[in-house]
Amino acid sequence: MPEFAWPWVFALLPLPWLLRRLLPDAQRDEPALQVSALDELAPPTEPRRTPLLGPPVRQLPYLLIWLLLVIAAARPQWLGEPLPVPSSGRDLLLAVDVSGSMEQFDMRHAERSISRLQLVQALFGPFIEQRQGDRIGLILFGSRPYLQAPLTFDRSTVHTWLRQAQVGIAGSQTALGDAIGLAIKRLRQRPANSRVLILVTDGANTAGYLPPLTAARLAAAEGIRLYTIGIGASPDDLEQLGPDQLIQGLDLDEPLLREIADIGRGAYFRARSGQELKAITHTLDQLEPVAQAPRRAFQIHPLHHWPLAAALLLSVGLAVQRHGLRRRPRDCS
């Protein structure tokens, strides 16, 4: 069906009539220079007026051009058949630990040593970009949790915020329960059975007010599915690590993370290298989407070029006609 994208443009239609009423005539009351001899030789002429202000018949072509230009400015368009836009409807929050221990360089990716946070940024960036149809949000937490990016379809912006995250910006400790609590606050208003939280950490709960297991039960009651990912080296890597790195690598509370995932009807994963974390993100890719009412879109065919072309042809025709009248030889008899 046809419609106008900007129908308010039609308010400009009476503009020529207003200009005629408000602006003074284009003719002069008196000539700038009086030459009596020229006045006697020159034939009597009527005062010249612009065609728009002339007799009604002469106004019609110009008014038609104005009408065509206003129609084109209103952006006429033809709406085709409605097309369903599939949407999985998942609302996925990624909570990433940025405490001080995430700065440890005990991870391997692309044949080089990188920090734990750099590994998360490298592998979860593509994971975010591939979540077409899902709303993605980002929580950064340390001693306190912060909502870095709210739930949005703008995956590129969420990826950018993750890439720019720095160790220690939320404190040096780890508040797992408070991070889950903030996720509950953001997800509870979303449709049920479409809420997912992925919690990525390398340590135990050492800060915060809300106990992690209590937060996990609250999340389960709200229908939030919990996935937990433990980052860091294990005792098997003793030969490759120094004493300080080993101590910080052993801070991970795996039993707690497993219990959180069990309560939240999700799963726990341990990532010791880039290959393992890549396999985990591939597993998370297989989450079954929740079908919701699809959004609808229309195929739009613009029509503004038709009135523009008609106005141009009519203007050219009037210009050619006026030019021909001026060049017509006068009758000298």
3-state secondary structure of 83: strand
Phi, psi (degrees; rounded to nearest 5) at 171: 110, 165
The sign of the CA dihedral 39, 43, 46, 52 is: negative
Match 């030019």 to its residue by tokens.
323
Same domain membership, residue 109 and residue 73:
no
Contact 265, 226 (CB under 8 A): yes
The answer to the question of residue 134 being in a domain is: yes
Q: Which run of H or of E encompasses 79? A: strand 76-85
Same domain membership, residue 112 and residue 75:
no
Q: What token pair was written down for 143?
A: 């001693």
Same domain membership, residue 239 and residue 315:
no
Q: How far apart are CA 250 and CA 270, in angstroms?
A: 13
pLDDT of residue 284: 77
Of 236 and 5, the structure prediction assigns the larger pLDDT to 5
- Strand order of the β-sheet with 224-231 is 145-152, 135-141, 91-97, 195-201, 224-231, 267-271
The answer to the question of residue 17 being in a domain is: yes
Q: How far apart are CA 29 and CA 145, in angstroms?
A: 79
Q: How many domains is the chain partitioned into structurally? A: 2
Same domain membership, residue 257 and residue 132:
yes
Same domain membership, residue 98 and residue 244:
yes
pLDDT of residue 38: 47
Same domain membership, residue 113 and residue 35:
no
Q: What is the percent of the chain with per-residue pLDDT over 90, rounded to a whole number?
A: 29
Q: How far apart are CA 146 and CA 190, in angstroms?
A: 19
Q: What token pair was written down for 83?
A: 């097309």
The burial class, CB within 10 Å (0-12 / 13-18 / 19+), for 106 is buried
The answer to the question of residue 199 being in a domain is: yes
Same domain membership, residue 73 and residue 166:
no
Q: How far apart are CA 59 and CA 241, in angstroms?
A: 90
Q: Which amino acid is at 3?
A: E
Q: How far apart are CA 157 and CA 159, in angstroms?
A: 5
Is 58 a residue whose pLDDT tops 90? no
Task: Give the mean model confidence (pLDDT) for residues 82-98.
Answer: 76
Same domain membership, residue 176 and residue 40:
no
The answer to the question of residue 290 being in a domain is: no
How many helices (DSSP H) and strands (DSSP E) are in the chain? 11, 11
The sign of the CA dihedral 114, 255, 181, 199 is: positive
The answer to the question of residue 242 being in a domain is: yes
pLDDT per residue as tens digits for the range 95-131: 999 998 898 888 877 778 888 999 899 888 888 888 8
Is 52 a residue whose pLDDT tops 60? no
The burial class, CB within 10 Å (0-12 / 13-18 / 19+), for 25 is exposed
Same domain membership, residue 302 and residue 281:
no
Same domain membership, residue 133 and residue 54:
no
The answer to the question of residue 293 being in a domain is: no
Query: Is pTM beyond 0.85 here?
Result: no
Is 294 a residue whose pLDDT tops 90? no
User: 208: phi > 0 → left, psi -120 to 50 → alpha, else beta; which?
Assistant: left
Q: How far apart are CA 78 and CA 222, in angstroms?
A: 44
The answer to the question of residue 292 being in a domain is: no
Q: How far apart are CA 149 and CA 140, in angstroms?
A: 9
Is 283 a residue whose pLDDT tops 70? yes
pLDDT of residue 17: 83
Q: How far apart are CA 79 and CA 310, in angstroms?
A: 22
The answer to the question of residue 86 being in a domain is: no
Q: What is the percent of the chain with per-residue pLDDT over 70, rounded to a whole number?
A: 74
Same domain membership, residue 274 and residue 147:
yes
Containing structural domain, residue 253: 91-285
3-state secondary structure of 281: helix
Same domain membership, residue 245 and residue 136:
yes
Of 229 and 111, the structure prediction assigns the larger pLDDT to 229
Res. 288 pLDDT band, cuts 50 70 90: very low
